[in-house]
Structure 1
Amino acid sequence: MTKQFSLAHLTVLNCPPPEMTYIAARAGYDFVSLRPIYMRLPGEPNYDLAKNKEMMRQTKAALNDTDLKLLDIELARISDGIDPKSYLPAMEVAAELGGRHVLSSIWTDDRNLAIERFDELCELAKPFGLTIELEFVPIAGVFDLKGALGVLRTVKQENAGLMIDVHHFHRSRDKAEDLDTVPREWFRYLHLCDAPAEIPASKDEMTRILREERSYVGEGGIDVASIVNRIPEIPYSLEIPNTKRANELGYEEFARRCLQTAKAYLAAHPRKISVD
């Protein structure tokens, strides 16, 4: 099976969706993964396509011009102060652009609230034909594989799945063999990247690396192959934010090198057995 790759928005965060789409096409990607849900994080641009009609028009035109597909949108966070219904406009955007998935993560320690709102998010996505992919993040409320699987097994939603980010998997100290217990149909795409093997002791440093200084696949210290080769053949979304390199190379060349190094690494570490 030919491997497929998506350019994740965090890799080229200052590129508006139309420009990002053209860059992804020229660099050789199959998909884009957009961030039309405004996160209100320091320095993060607002690409709310539901409100910015002109940017939405340009994004749709870029997808049509390039024949690229929209893989997923992000990030539908579950937290104490966010109503899942606030994500409906972004879901409409995803459906109109032909997207498949909505990425979610849980940032509350209230498990009952997390279950209730994640379940609601899945229900809201169904009329749009979208799946909700739960990503565990080591600095969030649901921070490891066990916690994410607990949520998915409780809600029992057919359109819910598990999105593994290689960085987060390593930082959460999970074991690759534990992926064997996950239903195969829960895997729909994953975030591919690398990072130093040493796990930062502080939350601030972990956050800095995950948002600003990830490594090309195969360049860091994570045993990436041990993770991805336990998962069925699904699209790889390259989420490799590295502010210094992006500034030095420009976003297009940086995106191209992210793809080239990922392809080279995967070719050098083929699957030994089928996990489909």
Structure 2
Amino acid sequence: MKRQFSLAHLTVLGCAPPEMTYIAAMAGYDYVSIRPIYMGLPGEPNYDLVVNKEMMKQTKRALADTGVKLHDIELARIYEDVDPKRYLPAMEVAAELGGKAVLSSIWTPDRNFYIEKFGELCDLAKQFDLTVDLEYVPIASVNTLARAADVLRSVNRENAGIMIDTHHFQRARDHVEDLKALPREWFHFAHLCDAPGEIPTEKDEMTRILREARSYVGEGGIDIASIINSMPEMVYSIELPNLENVKVLGYAEHARRCIQSAKVYLDANPRR
């Protein structure tokens, strides 16, 4: 089966969905993973396609022109006092554009609350035939494989999934044996990137690498092959923000090198 790749939002942060789609097509990606849910982070561009009707129209045209498809939207965060219904308009956009999944993460320590709200999010997404895939993040509240698995077992929704990011997996000091033990139906897509093998002890440095200094696949210290080969074959969304590389190469060449390095690495580390 031909491997399929998606270009993730953070890899080309400064590109709106239409430009991102054309870059993805030129570089050889099958999908894009966009962020139409505005999070209000410092310096974050607003790509809310519900509000920006012209950008929505341009995105539809770019998808039609290139044949690239939408894979997933982000980021439906579960945080203190969130009402998951606020993500309904973005889910409608995802469905209209042919998307498959909603990426989520959990940023509140209140387990009873986040289990309830993640379940609600899954129920809302189901009407659009979207999965909700939980990404555990080293700086978030749900920050390990075990905690993410606990959420999926607790909500027990058919459209709930777990999304493994190779950077986060290594930073959480998780083990591939635990990954192999999880239900295969939980896996819909994964995030590929590399990073220095040494795990930062300071949260600021962890955050800096996570947001702006990840490495091309095979150029860091993460045993990506062991992680990827412990899961089913699926779409690989390349989330590889690197501000220095973008400054030197530009977004289009950075995106091309992201997929090229991933293909070379995966070819050199086949499944056994």
Q: Same fold (TM over 0.5)?
A: yes
Give me the whole-angstrom Cα distance separating, in 1, the residues matched to 2:122 and 2:187: 16
> Equivalent residue for 1:141?
141
Matched, 1:200 2:200: yes
Matched, 1:120 2:120: yes
Q: 1:116-195 alignment to 2 at 5 Å? A: 116-195=116-195
Report the TM-score when normalising by structure 2: 0.99
Give me the whole-angstrom Cα distance separating, in 1, the residues matched to 2:136 and 2:253: 30
Q: Deviations over 1:80-101 (max 9, x none)?
A: 0321100000000000000000
> Equivalent residue for 2:61?
61
SS across alignment from 1:264: helix
> Equivalent residue for 1:94?
94
> Equivalent residue for 1:232?
232
Q: 1:196-275 alignment to 2 at 5 Å? A: 196-272=196-272
Identical aligned pairs, as a percentage?
70
- The one-letter code sitting in structure 1 at the alignment partner of 2:118 is F
Q: Deviations over 1:69-117 (max 9, x none)?
A: 1000000000003211000000000000000000000000000000000
- The one-letter code sitting in structure 2 at the alignment partner of 1:133 is D
SS across alignment from 2:164: coil
Q: Deviations over 1:176-195 (max 9, x none)?
A: 11111110011000000000
- The one-letter code sitting in structure 2 at the alignment partner of 1:61 is R
Give me the whole-angstrom Cα distance separating, in 2, the residues matched to 1:220 and 1:247: 20
Give me the whole-angstrom Cα distance separating, in 2, the residues matched to 1:135 and 1:217: 19
SS across alignment from 1:70: strand
Give me the whole-angstrom Cα distance separating, in 2, the residues matched to 1:17 and 1:47: 7
Give me the whole-angstrom Cα distance separating, in 2, the residues matched to 1:215 and 1:64: 31
Q: Deviations over 1:15-44 (max 9, x none)?
A: 000000000000110000001100111111
SS across alignment from 1:258: helix
**Structure 2 gap ranges (5+):** none
SS across alignment from 1:95: helix
> Equivalent residue for 2:11?
11
Q: What is the total number of aligned residue pairs between the two structures? A: 272
Report the TM-score when normalising by structure 1: 0.98
Give me the whole-angstrom Cα distance separating, in 2, the residues matched to 1:213 and 1:120: 34
Give the root-mean-square deviation of aligned CA atoms: 0.5
SS across alignment from 1:133: strand
Give the C-alpha shift of residue 119 in structure 1.
Answer: 0.4
Give me the whole-angstrom Cα distance separating, in 2, the residues matched to 1:81 and 1:153: 23
Give me the whole-angstrom Cα distance separating, in 1, the residues matched to 2:81 and 2:30: 35
SS across alignment from 2:102: strand
SS across alignment from 1:225: helix
- The one-letter code sitting in structure 2 at the alignment partner of 1:31 is Y
- The one-letter code sitting in structure 2 at the alignment partner of 1:43 is G
- The one-letter code sitting in structure 1 at the alignment partner of 2:124 is L
Give me the whole-angstrom Cα distance separating, in 2, the residues matched to 1:45 and 1:26: 23
- The one-letter code sitting in structure 1 at the alignment partner of 2:153 is R
Give me the whole-angstrom Cα distance separating, in 2, the residues matched to 1:44 and 1:206: 19
> Equivalent residue for 1:34?
34
- The one-letter code sitting in structure 2 at the alignment partner of 1:70 is L
Give me the whole-angstrom Cα distance separating, in 2, the residues matched to 1:89 and 1:110: 26
Give me the whole-angstrom Cα distance separating, in 2, the residues matched to 1:74 and 1:106: 13
**Structure 1 gap ranges (5+):** none
SS across alignment from 2:118: helix
- The one-letter code sitting in structure 1 at the alignment partner of 2:128 is F
Q: Deviations over 1:141-195 (max 9, x none)?
A: 1000000000000100000001000000000010111111110011000000000
